[in-house]
A and B are shown apart, each in its own frame.
Chain A
């Protein structure tokens, strides 16, 4: 029986860690004579915990990946922004309708050069989650993102996006204000960019809402992130009329980073610290930093036209056809 939530799945580990924490406390106040014995026990528990994590995380199935990708302890966009950039100035206006806190963005410094950062933002507690609308952006969020992309293009700033959303907001108001157009237009704007573009899927890559800010020259995915055309629950509901079959749907959808790489749809998997990014956010950020540095210096060698053409060709080649596509002559502008 598959675990329903990340908490349920990690429960044995949490229990082990609680026991370990208590032992550590005891060792601090224990009399000298008992201390060695307790410390040996602590070491033993630590060894068991590490072994347990290794076993758990080396055998993550697609559904467990979904649970980890959605885990509320996982670092979110603003955690990475804080760890990787300085001078981040959040710019929030879509200049049309309203402020959307499910997508954050603005210019920031990365190792001495300005970049434009855009990402979905989740919340950690009930209030935050409501404020962030569970990282489900409305048309305003995507229209803000488009403004930032265009600004980056005008001022020559590379674009770095962090992808972490269950989906675009499916509500009545979002439909009324053109959520579908906002998603499509955001993709279209990204195809126009003549600056380096890098997208990092750090949690949930939830269908069109994720892709709308992930049309990049380099698409990176963290080891335990997911990327899917439809939430597994939605897929199970449509296919089998049984949302509870989400674990089976996760397997069928092949939504893991490993599958995305095999299908040729992402460029690189970024390893996560032992037991997932949430166990060592600093180390997770350091791995992303290294990748950003490499990608930025690599893409910065190309002209704007090259970057734009390469981005087109990259997505142009995505798909699986039995009859191979005919070479299209390049468009003469």
Chain B
């Protein structure tokens, strides 16, 4: 899949998600900050979250309690808080009343170079107490197309559920380096999120293909089976789009569709704003990097003023480093979550269409039966089956929607408080820098 994707980059503009592929890493071309050790340390915490973090965390109620103290500015200066955004995002799948017995993490990406292709594999680690699994622990290596296979299988076998999205498959060649550290790390996080969402789902986590994906030594043998299933769904979706009007579409599903449309639209706007802010910040950073050293140059001309000017130069430098951290954090933690939710809502809309189609099928059959009823009495069992199917679909969707709403609320609460935190930290760092040079300036003046 990766191969076919990268070989046809021209198809992208029609995908409708074009903006998501653009400028994936605004920072990948920006200058690095090697000079400040503190500046390097913090992003590192974010980049390599401990895979054990999630399993060792207390369950849902405790998580909720944890998130509240985070809402106060008191803890923003603690060194651990910089990684809290990610931690929270990892924890947010907990739902009330559900005990977790399946823990999955994706880590340790590795590059494989073969004669035919170059690709990345990720280690998928599973810890579980479920009896469906033979062992309590598994560790397998999977590549992106394996995840893609899993998702397709889930879509086929669980058509009535919202399947979490995968990160974008296609990458515009030349714009993003598929093997760059940033890209691989962003994708790893998204894949990790994908599996975690499935693992926490009361239905999806019991899917046999998920089990196979987590445990099979050789996934390829499984992948070869049942390829024909794939085409089925495509046909039925086309059936709906042909313009059949539902007689009695339940209002709540219309509302959900409407909601998702607006939601995706607003998130798209937020995504564009966030990207634009990062772009502005990167440009601001470029200017700051030129601005600071001018004070140093000036300092070289002066005697008594030399030290104060040098101080301002250092201060601007510190602020630049803080700004770079802010943009990095926003690029790595903020944008991917927005994108996941945009993709999520797209795939959810497809499920809703499928529901409509199922209902349409039922209505068509009911109508046909009504005509036939003149001849024979009673509703045929086939129609009853269809009705059951619609009702099951509706029930599954409602449950999933509720789950999703809950997850979304937590995710965005954490995401947005995290954004506020990052900005507060940025300003605090700048504040410290500027405050530290005031005595330097004043002292000199008095000593004179």
The reply to whether chain A is a binding partner of chain B is no
